[in-house]
Amino acid sequence: MSGPDRKLILIVDDTPTNVAVVSGVLKDLFRTKVATNGEKALAIATAAEKPDLILLDVMMPGMDGYEVCRRLKANPYTAEIPVIFLTAKTDSLDEEKGFEVGAVDYIHKPFSSPIVLARVKTQLALQAALGEAQDARNQADTLLHALLPKKAADEIRSIGTVIPRRYENVAVLFCDVTNFTAYCDKHEPEDVVSRLDALFVIFERITAKHGLEKIKTIGDGFMAVAGLLHKHHDPVGAAVRCGLEMTSTLIDAHLDWEVRVGVHAGPVVAGVVGQERYQFDIWGDTVNVAARMVGMSAPGSVATTKEIWETISSAFDGESLGMLEIKGKGAISVFGLRLRASP
């Protein structure tokens, strides 16, 4: 291993002979720095290039090894550096004290070269393994938060699952893209996916802007909610305003795409299904009605039921679309909503 790539070991001992012995054991495999007292050891440990491991004498004039170790562990910058005590003390109480202040191991004097080398290699290998495990956990957390809403991801990290729950007064928004299937049939897959991805990225920004949470995409469909995992003072109004901004979104005027949006509100059940691939989802009549509303909406408007319209009519313009047949519900009164024009 070349010089800069070799691990850096800080040797802290006030006896030159001990320093010479330990340095001689390590010099062919590691870079070393030496401190002859606790103050100098702390200065080296907190420098820009901190050591990967510290070999620390217990008995030193002034600040002893126990106090040096305490200070290292109290400083977030140096807390993770493994400390191995070098000592002539063999009493179990002395070792217990060392472990209490944060040491990971003991090497007893007089030194045995194979033992020094083995203990150092073991601790460095352990630190490397812990670092790799933390990196893997960070990557898993990043993926989990990309797949699930933050609160659901945090619950999985905490207890290993998301407890199914019923939520009241949740606004559910569905939107889809008209003419999308025809576009798919006439264009290359890379172009289709690229353009749909660009549109959904815009939708994600719009949902965040209005305080909604994206739940999932299904083909060219996009589902989001307000008032589910996060409280919202006006979930229905936020969902309608979000939907209206979505309907006005164009990534390319030549695509001949139009966005249709349906909104409904009420109770839903939410939870996670699947094991190989987590899927956070919501279910219930509220979800079904919101999905049915999509096909009833006209470009530039949001379709919803008369029940919802009556709760928000003071904030939006709307018109009756009549009694429309909704799968699973029969004929219900549907309204198309628009932003209220400024006086």
235-254 pLDDT, tens per residue?
Answer: 999 999 999 999 888 766 66
> Facing residues of 319 across strands?
336
Query: Looking at residue 168, what is its pLDDT?
Result: 92
Identify whether the C-beta of residue 153 lies closer than 8 Å to the C-beta of residue 242. Answer: no
Mean pLDDT of all residues in 269-282: 79
Query: Looking at residue 342, what is its pLDDT?
Result: 57
Identify whether the C-beta of residue 119 lies closer than 8 Å to the C-beta of residue 126. Answer: no
Which runs of consecutive H residues, i.e. helices, occur in 210-282? 235-247
Radius of gyration (C-alpha) of the chain in whole angstroms: 32
Is the previous residue joined to 110 through a cis bond, with omega within 30 degrees of 0?
A: yes
Angle subtended at Cα 208 by Cα 339 and Cα 334, rounded to the nearest 5 degrees: 40
Q: Is 286 exposed, middle or buried (0-12, 13-18, 19+ CB in 10 A)?
A: buried
Residue 83 phi, psi dihedral angles, 5° rounding? -120, 125
Strand (E) positions, 42-96? 53-57, 83-87
Strand (E) positions, 97-201? 105-108, 165-178
pLDDT in tens, 88-120: 876 778 778 888 999 999 888 888 888 999 999
Dist CA 8 CA 82 (whole Å): 12
Q: Is 225 helix (H, G, I), strand (E, B) or coil?
A: strand
Query: Looking at residue 141, what is its pLDDT?
Result: 74
Dist CA 319 CA 56 (whole Å): 79
pLDDT of 2 > 60? The answer is no
Dist CA 15 CA 34 (whole Å): 11
Strand 213-218 versus strand 165-178 pairing type:
unpaired
Q: Which domains does the chain have, with CATH numbers?
A: 3-145 (3.40.50.2300), 162-339 (3.30.70.1230)
Nearest to 252 by CA among 186, 191, 176: 191
Query: Looking at residue 326, what is its pLDDT?
Result: 78
User: What is the tally of helices (H) and strands (E) in the chain?
Assistant: 11, 13
Mean pLDDT of all residues in 184-209: 91
Identify whether the C-beta of residue 213 lies closer than 8 Å to the C-beta of residue 238. Answer: no
